């Protein structure tokens, strides 16, 4: 009788165990955990840093037809991006264990893209100006860019020693930049023409004689004088007759979505280990490999 009772008890316990384990797999804690996205603790949950840039702004960034010199594929195209911004993006990704994805967008679309989450970051030679910082957060700087002018070697302004020597000249710069909005108005008597949509258009306005000079930064100017041998850079730094700009207007940063503190901190952690000399060395490398074209 005791044996029968023990057998019945064992069968009852077995049935209870089977009932407890018969729930759906989705209800189990282990299934829930595997279905959740992995949080890398850096603001890049999928492990891919999606970066927007123009891919038309040498030496910051440009488009090329192959992967030479470490170029990176441009999303949804058969072309590749390279330049200082790409080099920096690769360094940031390597330090954080991310993959890199480059998205090509027009200048005016960069900030909206990061605001809406279309991309994680913009690395595109953007200055960290206060107005822009109202819309996005910035990591960095990742470059300190002095403001200069460019003119043609045979121009009457080619020997200008300061802003006062540019009086009466026609000029322009790129739309939506401190060069156009903040710097050109500092040249008394300058005849400011409509802003150009992008850097190539700005340079072409000078090359074709539409304007006497343009305002830009040293990285852009360094690339321009290689692509356009008839251009000369006018650098008035430290002579008392130069552009008056705050650090926020000349420091170049990486923009991220407002409030994405994890990503900003992850980027800053890497950038804080680099010096101005490190930035300039990388910039010179980008200038040296930029395509010798005027497109």
β-strands 147-152, 213-217 pairing: antiparallel
Going by C-alpha positions, the residue among 68, 152, 71 that lies closest to residue 104 is 71
- For residue 102, what pLDDT is reported? 98
Peptide bond into 141 cis (omega under 30): yes
Which alpha helices (H) appear in 208-294, and where do they start and end?
Answer: 218-227, 247-250, 261-271, 276-289
Confirm if 100 and 57 have CB atoms less than 8 A apart. Answer: no
Q: How far apart (Å, rounded) are the C-alpha atoms in residues 258 and 201?
A: 31
Residue 293, pLDDT score = 54
Q: How many CA atoms lie within 13 A of 37 on its CB side?
A: 8
- Domains assigned to the chain: 48-144+249-289 (3.40.190.10), 147-236 (3.40.190.10)
> Residue 177 and residue 196: Cα distance in Å, rounded?
10
pLDDT tens, 29-61? 333 333 333 334 467 989 999 999 999 989 999
Cβ pair 230, 154 in contact under 8 A: yes
Question: How many Å apart are CA 211 and CA 48, to the nearest integer?
Answer: 43
* 176: nearest Cα among 148, 195, 194: 195
Determine the pLDDT at residue 238. Answer: 82
Please identify every stretch of the chain with a pLDDT value under 70, giving residue numbers as ranges. 1-42, 292-295
Query: What would the two tokens of residue 225 be?
Result: 């004088």
């Amino acid at each position: 009788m005791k044996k029968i009772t023990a057998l019945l008890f064992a069968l009852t316990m077995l049935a209870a165990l089977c009932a407890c384990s018969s729930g759906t797999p989705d209800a189990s804690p282990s299934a829930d955990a595997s279905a959740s996205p992995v949080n890398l603790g850096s603001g890049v949950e999928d492990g891919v840093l999606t970066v927007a840039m123009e891919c038309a702004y040498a030496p910051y960034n440009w488009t090329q037809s192959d992967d030479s010199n470490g170029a990176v594929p441009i999303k949804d195209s058969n072309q590749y991006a390279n330049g200082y911004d790409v080099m920096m993006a690769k360094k940031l990704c390597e330090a954080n264990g991310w993959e890199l994805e480059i998205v090509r967008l027009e200048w005016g679309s960069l900030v909206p893209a990061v605001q809406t989450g279309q991309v994680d970051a913009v690395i595109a030679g953007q200055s960290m100006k206060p107005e822009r910082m109202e819309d996005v957060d910035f990591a960095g700087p990742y470059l300190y860019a002095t403001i200069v002018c460019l003119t043609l070697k045979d121009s009457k302004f080619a020997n200008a020693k300061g802003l006062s020597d540019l009086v009466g000249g026609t000029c322009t710069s790129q739309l939506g930049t401190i060069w156009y909005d903040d710097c050109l108005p500092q040249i008394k008597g300058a005849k400011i023409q409509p802003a150009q949509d992008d850097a190539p258009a700005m340079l072409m306005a000078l090359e074709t004689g539409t304007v006497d000079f343009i305002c830009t930064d040293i990285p852009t100017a360094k690339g321009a004088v290689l692509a356009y041998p008839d251009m000369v850079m006018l650098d008035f730094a430290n002579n008392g007759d130069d552009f008056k700009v705050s650090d926020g207007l000349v420091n170049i940063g990486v923009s991220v979505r407002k409030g994405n503190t994890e990503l900003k901190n992850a980027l800053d952690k890497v950038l804080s280990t680099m010096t101005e000399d490190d930035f300039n060395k990388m910039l010179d490398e980008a200038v040296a490999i930029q395509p010798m074209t005027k497109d």
